[in-house]
Amino acid sequence: MRLTELRVERLRCIDRLEVEVPPGWSAFIGPNGAGKTSLLEAVYLLSHGRSFRGGTRDALSTIGSGGFSVFGRFRHADGREHRLGLARQGGRLEARIDGETAALGSLVGACAVVCFEPGSHELVDGASEGRRSHLDWGVFHVEHGFLREWRRYQRALRQRNAALREGAGDDALAPWENEMAAPGESLDRQRRAYIDRLRPILAKTLADFVPELGTANLLFERGWPEDRDLAQALAEGRQRDRDRGHTRRGPHRADWTIGFEHAPRREHLSRGQAKLCALAFILAQASLHAGALGDWPVLCFDDLASELDEEHQQRVLAVARASGAQVLLSGTALPSALAGPATELSVFHVEQGRLRALL
Ligand SMILES: Nc1ncnc2c1ncn2[C@@H]1O[C@H](COP(=O)(O)OP(=O)(O)OP(=O)(O)O)[C@@H](O)[C@H]1O
Ligand SMILES: [Mg+2]
């Protein structure tokens, strides 16, 4: 899919920006603090409903403005076009699809954008929450009904946690555990099916990006013991859960890791290797998405040149070229790795939240 038009208002340092995004790749170049990341963040917001940077949604609105809006026009591979909008005003977030108010989940389902940015290494060496949400973004797009099950599970989990904090007895916990069991098992099945599809794609990408680490294996931990069903695991954990005041087992605690022949644990990876693993995961997800839905997500690379050495930039860009996906990238200077085989490239200069086409 392609982003053909982008409008951003009052997002960080961007007061007002409108751009027709040309066919081919686009590079956004400018000094530190110019608004390059903010621009890619705007595109990402439409596809995720949240930023890839930590912090609250309030921090996204230009200081003193009390709200922001992003509009993007996406053209799918089959020719369909959607006008997508996300706005925050008075503390409320409103999503729109083709002029109509829509649920945030529908907006996220209507386009696909992946982004590699300076914080992406956290996907490998950070907290499990980030890994889960990346995984679930992919599962949500390819496994039917995932969001519905996820919501059912979260609702029951919140209730069980509230009951635990009140010191509820077994009789009061059991109904919530029953409520959690079916959607919880279903989330797990869908995640596993996705991981099984992702594994060979990821292994191939990693062999290209970090061959020195040897063969790679993507391991999935579902969040409760493999030899129990979820209802059983929850019932067994009641007393410890009461002591802790929250539910310690279940798909909300799922996690994944990448183990290598020559680097079995995360701690064995250099920072650059961790970044390359994160990037391989993101690109593998994009590739799976394309295989399942017939449409490549938009690929965003924020500050690629400062994150990776020249050789690895070349490898990443070669994967992106071979995919035929739209690429949006940013940097303080045009990455020299772009001087490879001809790609239709438009260059924009970014300064103080404003944009000027250069080439
Ligand atoms: N809520 C906000 N309101 C106003 N300005 C903000 C807000 N949040 C961030 N900024 C400012 O927006 C500017 C652009 O930030 P951004 O991260 O997009 O820059 P960048 O071009 O990616 O820079 P770098 O090259 O350093 O990564 C910065 O000067 C930052 O201080
Ligand atoms: Mg930046």
What pLDDT was estimated at residue 337?
A: 85
Supply the pLDDT for residue 340.
66
Q: Does 256 reside within a domain?
A: no
Q: Which atom of ligand 1 is nearest to the CA of 31?
A: 25
- Domain assignment of residue 70, yes or no: yes
| Number of CB atoms found within 10 A of residue 80's CB | 11
φ/ψ (deg, to 5) at 126: -100, -160
Residues 6 or more apart whose Cβ sits within 8 Å of residue 98: 82, 83
**8 Å CB contact between 30 and 36:** yes
Query: What pTM value is reported for the model?
Result: 0.96
Q: For the segment 97-115, what is each residue's pLDDT rounded down to a tens digit?
A: 999 999 999 999 999 999 9
- Which pLDDT value is given to residue 341? 64
Instruction: Report residues whose beta carbon is within 6 angstroms of any ligand 1 atom.
Output: 12-13, 30, 32-38, 59, 61-63, 303, 332
In a domain, 194, yes or no: no
Name the residue at shortest CA distance from atom 16 of ligand 1.
35
Q: What is the pLDDT of residue 58?
A: 86
Number of domains in the chain: 1
Residue closest to 190 by CA, chosen among 157, 147, 231, 134 = 147
Ligand nearest the Cα atom of residue 32: 1
Indicate whether 75 belongs to any domain: yes
> 39: domain CATH number?
3.40.50.300
Output the residue whose Cα is nearest ligand 1's atom 8: 12
Ligand 1 nearest-atom number relative to CA 62 = 3
Ligand 1 pocket check: which of 14, 37, 120, 332 to mutate, most ligand atoms within 8 Å of Cβ?
Answer: 37
208 in any annotated domain:
no
> Residue 3 C-alpha to ligand 1 middle, in angstroms?
22
Cα–Cα distance measured from residue 95 to residue 72, given in angstroms and rounded to the nearest whole number: 12
Low-confidence ranges of the chain (pLDDT < 70): 340-342, 359
Question: Does residue 340 sit within a domain?
Answer: yes
100 lies in a domain? yes
Report if residue 229 sits inside a domain. Answer: no
- Helices marked H in 3-100: 36-48
pLDDT digits (tens, 9 = 90+) for 2-53: 999 999 999 999 999 999 999 999 999 999 999 999 999 999 999 999 999 9
By most ligand atoms within 8 Å of CB, the mutation choice from 13, 115, 120 for ligand 1 is 13
The owner of tokens 């930023």 is 51
Looking at the CA of 41, which ligand is closest?
A: 1
Q: What pLDDT was estimated at residue 57?
A: 83
For position 336, what pLDDT does the model report? 86
Q: Please state, in angstroms and as integers, the Cα–Cα distance from residue 218 to each residue in 60, 74, 140, 203, 253, following that order.
A: 34, 32, 19, 8, 17
Per-position DSSP letters for 257-268, written without gaps between them? EEEETTB-SGGG
- Rounded to the nearest whole angstrom, what is the distance from the C-alpha of residue 302 to the centroid of ligand 2? 7
Domain, as residue range, for 105:
1-112+295-359
Q: What is the pLDDT of residue 24?
A: 92
Q: How far apart are CA 181 and CA 73, in angstroms?
A: 40
pLDDT in the model for residue 116: 97
